[in-house]
Amino acid sequence: MNKLATPGTTSTSAYPRGPLTVFFALDGFIFAGWIVRIPAIKEQTGTTASTLGLALLGVSAGAVITMMLTGRLCRRFGSLRVSIACAALMSLSVILPPLTRSALSLGLVLLLFGAAYGSMSVALNSAAVNVVNAIRRPVMPAFHAAYSLGGMLGAGLGGLVAGQLSPTRHLLGLAVIGLVVTAVAARPLLRHGIPDPVPAGPATPADAPARKAAHRMEPRTRRLVLVFGVIALCTAYGEGALADWGALHLEETLAAHPGVAAAGYSCFALTMTIGRFSGTTLLERLGRTRTLVAGGATAAVGMLVAALAPTLWLALAGFAVTGLGLANIFPVAVERAGALAGPNGIAAASTLGYGGLLLAPPAIGFMADWYSLPTALTSVALLAAVASVIAWAIRDTRTAPAHG
């Protein structure tokens, strides 16, 4: 079981923020490494664009199916143990896609990979919320900054080795790195431990009331968790839209060179990472409500500029501003859901947020066909503004840590 520490009797330095941060970075590193090899695996499996799209839904389906289950596993075994197990499973399952030879087999193995990825996201965020509650500092954005940085490193490494290594060798290397990092970081993570909202392990008469309360969400709590999930969805929608359509917008609308067009998402990812690294300071100075409201408003303005800019450089500046605006909305929304309802709240908010990633690519595509791609991308600005309005509307809501 997790070694439980009691807030107030243990110094904040005793909580394993470093090892937990490493796991967040590993999550982004492995996922990005897989993403950059999709074109090669498409060629290897001989799939068309449409069948590849269906196969790739396996990642999303696997993640969504297991996210709610993971909340229960965190309650039963502790978020640390679940995080470590999912990290190992994700490292092993990333080997499988390049071994497939058809869209069907690719989709099936991506179900497993997506399940590991989604479960790891919920478990890591659950552990991170416990750290936030234990040390009483808003450090959630720093964990998500590590994820973004890991993603940038994974994508960069993948780009460097793509011409020299086959997808099989590249992803096998990622699996080895993932397993080694998991083994090394797991020991200090388990040695120090993080207090879970309720005792993990077999139930005893003494902790039965706490367990019953932890599993039951009052209607008001459930509504608030869903609201924070909607805020997370608005942010994830923007991330998904820019990842899939940002470069195409710069190429088709502003006639950018493919290499320059790729810089659009890089600008967005870089400023999002910077924004998350500075998120703790921002939250301590402005508070959560102002950070959410200002972030949504900033992202809305930035995306309007990026979508409607008449010049390439103005559009790139818009992408950068959008990244800064969206940076801390998802981490804060998930943290608030976790403070309200523990791992189950995180699972619910994360599932809704992940729905934004699912919704964005096809929604932008349909709107681009009906109207135009720039017009379609203004929907990112609209949803960012919606997140800002919602955050302002619930500004007087008080959320207490899930474990008291």
pLDDT digits (tens, 9 = 90+) for 343-381: 888 888 888 887 787 777 778 888 888 888 899 999 999
Q: Are residues 385 and 338 in the same domain?
A: yes
Q: Is the pTM of this model over 0.85?
A: no
CA 71 to chain centre: 16
Together in a domain, 196 and 224: no
Ranges of residues in the chain with a pLDDT under 50 are 1-14, 198-215, 399-404
Which amino acid does the sequence have at 331? P
191 within domain boundaries: yes
Greatest alpha-carbon span in the chain: 68
* Cβ within 8 Å of residue 307, ≥6 positions away: 249, 315, 318, 374, 375, 377, 378, 380, 381
Residue 142 lies in a domain: yes
The CATH number that applies at residue 335 is 1.20.1250.20
Q: Are residues 306 and 365 in the same domain?
A: yes
Q: What would the DSSP string read from start to end of 37-92?
A: THHHHHHHHT--HHHHHHHHHHHHHHHHHHHHHHHHHHHHH-HHHHHHHHHHHHHH
Orientation of helix 312-326 relative to helix 288-308, angle to 10°: 160
Question: Could you tell me if residue 213 is inside a domain?
Answer: no
Same domain for 190 and 234?
no
Last residue within a domain, chosen from 144, 167, 200: 200
Q: Which domain holds residue 331?
A: 219-393
DSSP one-letter string for 286-300: H-HHHHHHHHHHHHH
Torsion of CA 164, 169, 174, 175, to 10 degrees: 180
Q: Is residue 384 part of a domain?
A: yes
Q: Distances from the Cα of 310 to the Cαs of 314, 318, 371, in angstroms?
A: 7, 12, 18
The H or E element containing residue 245 is: helix 219-254
Whether 134 and 18 map to the same domain: the answer is yes
Place of tokens 């609209």: 382
Torsion sign over Cα 23, 28, 29, 31: positive
Between CA 64 and CA 62 the distance in angstroms is 6
Q: 247 and 387, same structural domain?
A: yes
pLDDT per residue as tens digits for the range 128-171: 888 888 888 888 888 988 988 998 888 788 878 878 889 999 99
137 with 61, same domain? yes
**Same domain, yes or no, for 196 and 243?**
no
The answer to whether position 1 is within a domain reads no
Same domain, 325 and 225: yes
In the chain, how many domains are there? 2
CB atoms within 10 A of CB 344: 28
Element (H, E) at 249: helix 219-254
**Angstrom distance (rounded) from CA 320 to CA 332:** 20
Residue located via tokens 């990842």? 243
The dihedral region occupied by 289, where left means phi > 0, alpha psi between -120 and 50, and beta the remainder, is alpha
Cα angle at 299 between 250 and 307, to 5 degrees? Answer: 25
In a domain, 2, yes or no: no
What are the tokens at 240?
């998904």
Same-domain status, 223 and 352: yes
182 with 229, same domain? no
Residue 302 lies in a domain: yes
**Smallest Cα–Cα separation from 157: which of 24, 26, 27, 36?**
36
pLDDT value of position 199 = 42
Q: In this structure, are 194 and 223 located in the same domain?
A: no
Instruction: Give me the pLDDT at residue 229, please.
Output: 92
CA dihedral sign, ordered 128, 130, 135, 136: positive
End of a domain among 141, 167, 200?
Answer: 200
**Bridge partners (DSSP) listed for residue 10:** 7
Task: For residue 178, tell me if it sits in a domain.
Answer: yes
- The residue from 200, 228, 249 where one domain ends is 200
Q: How far apart (Å, rounded) are the C-alpha atoms in residues 232 and 355?
A: 9
